Structure 1
Amino acid sequence: MTENVIITIGRQYGSGGREIGIRLAKKLEIPLYDHNLVAMAAKELGISEKEAKEADETALEGFLSSYIVGPGDYTAYMNAEDYMRPLSDRVYRTQSEIIKRLADRSPCVIVGRCADYILSDCPKCISVFICADKEDRIRRIAALRDLPERKAAEKIKKVDRERRYYYESNTGEEWGKSGTYQVVLNVSLTGIDKAVDMLAALFNGLCD
């Protein structure tokens, strides 16, 4: 397993976790992997990026139970057993292998995708969960998405439910539970800038 220092970030919707990941990667001058992992998985599977996105973190039970055998989806390197699996399983397995390869390549920040679980054997992987008070999350999403606060609250509830299902169905661990992660940060207390500084200090400490 890699000796590179890796920071994985799980996050509540509206907590600013992705923004923290972007700022942290820029501050440390290391790669950030997030939505681009979907495109990488799609390319390896020989499917469209749209199909891969639909099977990503927003997949719920109904989609997880659907099987895909559409025309044009078959590729020479995949066997029949692969095509008996839900597309979401295939995307998850492929993303997992990509994450391991990227972690072996260089230090990096990975947002979502169960990366903390996938890299749990990595001795220098810092698993982080970002949360925030509900009111702050509602205000943030209302402003970012130009939504009334009621709609923002509904969106937060939906996305958090989807992320919980995705994480727990793939890992068997409890999403957002303090014992699941090495570091849990409440951005309502620290602010985004301080959260970035704290994680950068942890990263640099492991690099010394």
Structure 2
Amino acid sequence: MTKNTIITIGRQFGSGGHEIGNRLAERLDIPLYDYNLIRMAANELGISAETAQNVDETILGRFLSAYVVNLGDYTAFMSGQEMGEPLSDQVFRCQTAIIEKLAQRSSCVIVGRCADYIVGDYSNCINAFIYAYKEDRIRRIMRIYKLTEKQAWDKIKKTDKERKLYYEAHTGRAWGSIEAHQMLFNASLLGVNGVVDTLEAIYRSKR
């Protein structure tokens, strides 16, 4: 158990969840852990960040087993580990251990990676899920990735499906549901700053 305050942010793709996490961490002057968790896990596992990235927040490794994107990295790592365990499970297990250590180290913001489930027993965990209207998500993804409207929507559907499968496979909870998360925020209604303001107030009330 830790006395640190841990803010976990689940998010629909294109809802602004990562931006909210980044702004919140800057405002509170606490660490943000998101994509950097992939690099940490890759270092621990002795594989490339690219290999870890390709199974991050997906269950790809459960189906492809040893035939993941970078066979050389995977085979090298598996030679000293229990053969047959999907790479996605290895990355998840490693990220879980890293998240638990980081939560013990200091207060922080963690985006995705089933962090709400991993640190859910901590009394000072603030668990939020960010969603937004379809039109707003499409506009955001079109702008960020320079895609057409159809390409953006296809990417959103694919990414959300992967995140949902990944989350539910590892937690047994319904991704994005009120049963799985303490708070749901509509970023289309509140705006990014509105969500950040609210989470900041909740955080400070726990200090």
Q: Percent identity?
A: 52
Return the offset for 1:84.
2.5
Aligned to 2:176: 176
- TM-aligned CA distance change 1:198 to 1:176, over 3 Å: same
- TM-aligned CA distance change 1:79 to 1:204, over 3 Å: same
Size of the alignment, in residue pairs?
A: 203
Give the TM-score of the pair, scaled to structure 2.
0.92
State whether residues 21 and 110 of structure 2, in contact with CA within 8 Å, keep that contact through their aligned partners in structure 1.
yes
Return the offset for 1:121.
0.8
The 1-side partners of 2:154 and 2:31 are apart by 33
State whether residues 58 and 88 of structure 2, in contact with CA within 8 Å, keep that contact through their aligned partners in structure 1.
no
Return the offset for 1:15.
0.3
Give the TM-score of the pair, scaled to structure 1.
0.92
The 2-side partners of 1:125 and 1:71 are apart by 39
Aligned to 1:40: 40
Return the offset for 1:67.
2.6
The 2-side partners of 1:168 and 1:16 are apart by 21
User: What 5-or-longer segments of structure 2 have no aligned partner?
Assistant: none
Return the offset for 1:55.
1.6
Return the offset for 1:112.
0.3
The 1-side partners of 2:151 and 2:94 are apart by 34
Residue 104 of structure 2 aligns to a residue whose secondary structure is helix
User: What 5-or-longer segments of structure 1 have no aligned partner?
Assistant: none
Residue 130 of structure 2 aligns to a residue whose secondary structure is strand
Aligned to 2:199: 199
State whether residues 47 and 77 of structure 2, in contact with CA within 8 Å, keep that contact through their aligned partners in structure 1.
no
Segments of 4+ moved more than 3 angstroms: 69-76
- TM-aligned CA distance change 1:86 to 1:189, over 3 Å: same
- Deviation readout 1:130-185 (Å, 9 max, x if unpaired): 00011111111112212111211111111100110110111110000112111110
